[in-house]
Structure 1
Amino acid sequence: MTYLFRCLVLLSTLLASGCASLSQGEHARAVSIAQAAQSQQVQCQAVDACAEPSALYALAGKAQALSTAQVPRHYALLLDYGEDALLARLNLLRSARHSIDLQTYIFDTDDSARLVIDELLAAARRGVQVRVLIDQLSAINDLQTLGALAGAHRNFQLRIYNPTFGKADPSYLDYAGSVLCCFRRFNQRMHTKLLVVDGAIGITGGRNYQDDYFDWDSEFNFRDRDVLIAGPAARDMARSFGQFWDARLSVPVAQLNDVGRYLLRHGVPALPDKPWRRPERVQAMSEDASDPEVVAARLVEPALPVGTVSYVADPPQKHRHNDPREPAPSSWELGSLVYAARQQITLQTPYLVMSDAAEDMFRSLRKRPEAPRVTVSTNSLAATDNPIVYSVSHKYKRRYLRELGFNIYEFKPFPADAPVDYASMLEEPPVLTPEQSVERPVRPIGSIGSKAGSRRTPRNRVDRRVQRTENRPSFFSSSPASDPLPLKRAGVRMGLHAKSMVIDGRVAVVGTHNFDPRSVNYNTESVVVIPSPVFARELEASIRRDISPENSWVIAPRRKPVVFSGLNYSLDKVSSSLPVFDLWPWRYATSYEYVASAECPTPVPRNDPKFHVCYRDVGDFPEVSIGPKRLYARILIAFGGGLVPIL
């Protein structure tokens, strides 16, 4: 693209955007229209806003009663199951008495997201102050829905973070202009995810508000993780939310140009009446959220009493004063924990692309006389929602294995032992025998994968017109930047999205940080740090389950070729060090599958002498449909190195 063409695109974009902007008077009239339409009626005059009693909410009071200023006490609940994560959210929204603060990167309008919207509005109507903050890049972009929410109720407020050209739904030219004129500003996203109720109990972690984060999608779901914290640390969560709410980049929805124009033309509309995709599933979830026995068994009883809990979050000021020499709080905290490790670091990240600082840190650990063992759980190309990032990660496998000492496990698209109730994903749930219909079965998701030609899921098709995850529109397209690649067989697949770490079996970390350059330089992130051996063991067991042979492939060096092994290694090393033109096809490492036998009754590490006896080579991109896609992956590897700073 020539410089002149860029200038013409930029000029036309700015002119178009300028014409599209509302005047100050128009903005004021749009806001007045929304405020005039807001219902003033409060359905409950009770002090507790007629909140539902909840044993889950009560954990906050118990923790507070046990706490002192010097010795805080908390309850911590690991939310591995997607449906449990949704259940916890609905139950807490119904139990709110004073305030609900919700902050997220993605908010859709599908079944799970609409359930949450309905509960937020219901809470506002009974007297709870509700504030919702969504990053613009993945916010609701339906103007009718946004207009309806702007004028819904006096107790309900919605703001959009860092809107491109002041719009909820930017056009292609707006995106292009943002990349050309304001690249850094456009890429500064609020990746923080947080739900805080009454400043007493909160949930944070990897999940956004979309069906595929709660195991409700019939094509692709995320293996994700949240943590619920009840106790004093929730006040820090509430303070962090307040910083973002008051930030200059957080814009009330009625003040956006396109939403304001819609309100001026149409007034405040009713919320769109969309049919539920799975009404019976929605009804069952809604009933469970108010069932004391269900809530107790699935959420309260598994909660663990812990001591100190730290909520560490990047402030919105990160987007104004981002000096790479001064790491943001979340990155600094993670770095401190890694440097403090002595025996074992267990890390889980969906996108294994390390920043230069992170590589230096792990390289220094590797040089210690007794270096800690580093285990990494991440996505395979077949499982990832972002092939571009995976391809860059694949480029650096030799470096990660040899120089940094990583032991890498890549998640399979059809894991056989994932913490998921797969029947809830299907359009038509299978008929179960009495033996199968046990309480909360952990059914192998691999059994819903099918051969090509499946009637339920057409082969190699992912037909979703929403942003499936953290993908960003680019200069070349206003749609998501990438989608999962086609596979050799059809079925409901899973991709890893959890961001967690365990240090020496004693400190647990759950949050939004992907341990990548974007998290360090562009996105605001947050982490919960729990220095509890009991909780850390539970988190580590969860990650260990994900890297078991049923759920992951092992990345290990190939067998050395009989001839030219040294030459191949040298050429691979030189090629992978190039930012572009990395064209050497025979990589240092590849994927392996464990094969149980009398000689290999249990899995062995990649550096065990029996490794190649116990594992079979399944190739660089197992399960991915080969052909042009393999060429596509190679091209990304060859030229994707230059994208590392923004991935």
Structure 2
Amino acid sequence: MTGDATHEFVRRLARSLALRWLALAFAASGTAGCASLPAPAGVEPSFAIPASAETLLGRLAKNSSPDPTLTGVRLLPTGPYALSTRIALAARAERTLDVQYYLLQNDATGRYLLRLMRDAAARGVRVRLLLDDMYTAGMDDMLIGLAAHPNIEVRLFNPFSAGRGHVLTRFAASALDFYRVNHRMHNKLFVADGAMAIVGGRNIADSYFTRDPNQNFADVDALLVGAVVEQLSSAFDDYWNSEFAIPLAYFAPTSTSAEERRRAFDDVTARDALPTEVVEEKTDVLGYGPIVEEMSDPRIGLIWGVASAWVDPTAKVWNCRPVPEGSTAPHLHTVRLRVEGLLRNARREVTLSSPYFVPAEDGMAIFGQGVREGVSYKVLTNSLAATDEPLVHWGYMRYRRRMLLMGMELYELSPTRASRDRGFGLFGSRTLGTLHAKTAVIDRSTVFIGSMNFDPRSDALNTEIGIVIESPQLAREMLRLMNLDKLQSSYRVRLSPEHGRLEWIGIDDFNEVVHNDEPDADFRTRMYLRLVAPFVSEGML
């Protein structure tokens, strides 16, 4: 094991053990109440500005729509296209940018997009940036510098009030408030001028846009135009104006002048100019060109259908609050329960993609009932070698044999196969791949795209967002993406006909290659699971 690999292994082990120890300590304390967040004085609510044909994006949205009740969708399956679409929206916004993410990394991509927000604000655009506070450690000064520019406000969701310099010190300082801070806002949403939005699985970092030299995520976003955008804007307002969204300045006060803070921000982000050509390929894997090329046309080409936005209520963070007698309202409309409803209503087939897939007994009951009724299931998830969360993969491993015995098809993304697969377009030849897309296709007609993983954390601890759209044409495009991934970049898992043992099957040059153990998994990952997994319950994954 190299020095860097050893350091990463120790870092991951220490972080996992520390967070699990804090969770166990909190549970053992017997404190079941919910601690309160501060209520800073003078924080005014604000609300989305409706789309208008007076803006470029508003005119494009209106001219492109065949019916105001419909939603138009353009899938964004490759990193460069997903990034160039965000850049195009930020550069052309004239009134508002509402940006909400679980993670905005302090790297070249993150700093560049922050600078684009600054540039938009300088044009008079109102910018509202809402970040979950989990991974903002060390970013306070830069974000304060951004917020010092006119027309920009930055809020942190469910923030840590102490130990802000490091993830571990944040949790350590919040040990008595662990129940609250262990709930995170996992939403990903980008809305420009109330007219166009991006929803999907991508956070903002180099690795989500194929710009990391070592490891990148395979993900899917959707550009949205039409009726569903208003729903998404309303959902943003709910989060922005909630008691959990606290202005950054409350936790990171500074004595420097606004001009000094702006200058510091400009200095930090000035070096992060992207290449002139963000998109090198003329078309993506679905045959689309960059969306920016259509923004000078009277309308843009989209797939249209009836869509709904599914968004967890912010009260999910306080799900320990007493529920009024006879009411289950806080639990009725979670994204997870709605997706489970889609699965229960399936009549022919379900194709799922989830990087972290732990069905639990509730999910197994849905699958079992569906199989008995003739529904076929295909699931694409990460292999042990591909996952960035081995403990969650351990949770999946506990159900793998049972799912195969039911007749479900399981595919596991291989980082080495994905790196070789230039035809799929998600990874370069020198990068390893990790699946991050959270999608579902039901009966070849209904599509879900969002931030929700099929695992206990997304079910109970994280807030999530997604859209569901009725469109056989969009379903065909999504299935094409998923089939490419399954066939070219993954192993199919099966039970050996002779011995009933697990086997991983890949096709190389039209020849079947059989592995009898977790392919590509290295020693440190296996050791990590042996050391940590025995101490982790499924509910902690």
- Measured against the shorter chain, the TM-score band is 0.7 to 0.9
Deviates more, 1:259-268 or 1:387-396: 259-268
Preserved contact between residue 48 and residue 97 of structure 1 (Cα < 8 Å) = no
Quickly say closer, same or farther: Cα 1:620–1:162, change in 2 above 3 A: same
Partner of 2:29: none
Give 1:536 shift: 0.7
Q: Where in structure 2 are the equivalents of 1:278-297 lying within 5 Å?
A: 279=273, 281-285=274-278, 295=291
Partner of 2:190: 195
Give 1:262 shift: 6.1
Match status 1:250 vs 2:242: no
Which of 261, 266, 271 is equivalent to 1:268?
261
* CA distance in 2: counterparts of 1:408 and 1:526, whole angstroms: 25
Preserved contact between residue 415 and residue 445 of structure 1 (Cα < 8 Å) = no
Match status 1:399 vs 2:395: no
Give, as a single letter, the amino acid of the residue that structure 1 aligns with 2:515.
Answer: V
Partner of 1:590: 503
Give 1:493 shift: 0.5
Quickly say closer, same or farther: Cα 1:176–1:49, change in 2 above 3 A: farther
Partner of 2:476: 537
* CA distance in 2: counterparts of 1:212 and 1:596, whole angstroms: 29
Give, as a single letter, the amino acid of the residue that structure 2 aligns with 1:504.
Answer: D
Give 1:396 shift: 2.5
* CA distance in 2: counterparts of 1:555 and 1:284, whole angstroms: 39
* CA distance in 2: counterparts of 1:616 and 1:496, whole angstroms: 22
Quickly say closer, same or farther: Cα 1:171–1:547, change in 2 above 3 A: closer
* CA distance in 2: counterparts of 1:332 and 1:177, whole angstroms: 33
Give 1:339 shift: 0.8
Q: Which runs of 5+ in 2 are unaligned?
A: 1-16, 27-37, 44-50, 282-288
Preserved contact between residue 353 and residue 439 of structure 2 (Cα < 8 Å) = yes
Q: Where in structure 2 are the equivalents of 1:18-97 lying within 5 Å?
A: 53=56, 58-63=59-64, 66-68=66-68, 72-97=69-94
Match status 1:220 vs 2:245: no
Preserved contact between residue 314 and residue 329 of structure 1 (Cα < 8 Å) = yes
Which of 405, 410, 413 is equivalent to 2:412?
410
Helix, strand or coil: the match of 2:387?
Answer: coil
Quickly say closer, same or farther: Cα 1:49–1:152, change in 2 above 3 A: farther
Give 1:61 shift: 1.4
Q: Where in structure 2 are the equivalents of 1:418-567 lying within 5 Å?
A: 445=427, 448=429, 491-548=430-487, 550-561=488-499
Quickly say closer, same or farther: Cα 1:277–1:596, change in 2 above 3 A: same
Match status 1:162 vs 2:158: yes
Give, as a single letter, the amino acid of the residue that structure 1 aligns with 2:314.
Answer: P
Higher strand residue share: 2
Helix, strand or coil: the match of 2:468?
Answer: strand
Partner of 1:121: 118
Partner of 2:526: 630
Partner of 2:537: 643
Quickly say closer, same or farther: Cα 1:294–1:419, change in 2 above 3 A: farther
Tell me the number of residue pairs that the alignment of Structure 1 and Structure 2 aligns: 486
* CA distance in 1: counterparts of 2:180 and 2:212, whole angstroms: 32
* CA distance in 2: counterparts of 1:418 and 1:84, whole angstroms: 20
Helix, strand or coil: the match of 2:355?
Answer: coil
Quickly say closer, same or farther: Cα 1:141–1:278, change in 2 above 3 A: closer
* CA distance in 1: counterparts of 2:426 and 2:113, whole angstroms: 28
* CA distance in 2: counterparts of 1:237 and 1:418, whole angstroms: 37
Helix, strand or coil: the match of 1:538?
Answer: helix
Give, as a single letter, the amino acid of the residue that structure 2 aligns with 1:181.
Answer: L
Quickly say closer, same or farther: Cα 1:116–1:286, change in 2 above 3 A: farther
Instruction: Say what the alpha-carbon RMSD is for the aligned residues.
Output: 3.6
Partner of 1:307: 305
* CA distance in 1: counterparts of 2:408 and 2:390, whole angstroms: 21
Partner of 2:342: 337
Quickly say closer, same or farther: Cα 1:379–1:96, change in 2 above 3 A: same
Which of 326, 329, 336 is equivalent to 2:331?
326
* CA distance in 2: counterparts of 1:340 and 1:378, whole angstroms: 22
Preserved contact between residue 213 and residue 221 of structure 1 (Cα < 8 Å) = yes
Which of 510, 514, 520 is equivalent to 1:617?
514
Give, as a single letter, the amino acid of the residue that structure 1 aligns with 2:228.
Answer: A
Helix, strand or coil: the match of 1:505?
Answer: coil
* CA distance in 2: counterparts of 1:344 and 1:119, whole angstroms: 42
Give 1:145 shift: 0.6
Partner of 2:14: none
Partner of 2:286: none
Helix, strand or coil: the match of 1:623?
Answer: coil
Larger radius of gyration: 1
Give 1:318 shift: 1.6
* CA distance in 1: counterparts of 2:421 and 2:232, whole angstroms: 27
Q: Deviations over 1:239-282 (max 9, x none)?
A: 000000001110101111xx115659997352162477875x43
Quickly say closer, same or farther: Cα 1:510–1:225, change in 2 above 3 A: same
Preserved contact between residue 414 and residue 445 of structure 1 (Cα < 8 Å) = no
Preserved contact between residue 418 and residue 490 of structure 2 (Cα < 8 Å) = no
Helix, strand or coil: the match of 1:560?
Answer: coil
Quickly say closer, same or farther: Cα 1:50–1:241, change in 2 above 3 A: same
Helix, strand or coil: the match of 2:184?
Answer: coil
Preserved contact between residue 111 and residue 282 of structure 1 (Cα < 8 Å) = no
* CA distance in 2: counterparts of 1:309 and 1:332, whole angstroms: 17
Quickly say closer, same or farther: Cα 1:147–1:222, change in 2 above 3 A: same
Give 1:518 shift: 0.8
Partner of 2:33: none
* CA distance in 1: counterparts of 2:486 and 2:348, whole angstroms: 19
* CA distance in 2: counterparts of 1:444 and 1:205, whole angstroms: 15
Preserved contact between residue 148 and residue 258 of structure 2 (Cα < 8 Å) = no
Give, as a single letter, the amino acid of the residue that structure 1 aligns with 2:265.
Answer: L
* CA distance in 2: counterparts of 1:6 and 1:530, whole angstroms: 40
Q: TM-score, normalised by structure 1?
A: 0.68
Quickly say closer, same or farther: Cα 1:526–1:617, change in 2 above 3 A: same
Which of 388, 393, 401 is equivalent to 1:390?
393
Helix, strand or coil: the match of 1:377?
Answer: strand
Preserved contact between residue 112 and residue 269 of structure 2 (Cα < 8 Å) = no
Preserved contact between residue 105 and residue 139 of structure 1 (Cα < 8 Å) = no
Give, as a single letter, the amino acid of the residue that structure 2 aligns with 1:62.
Answer: N
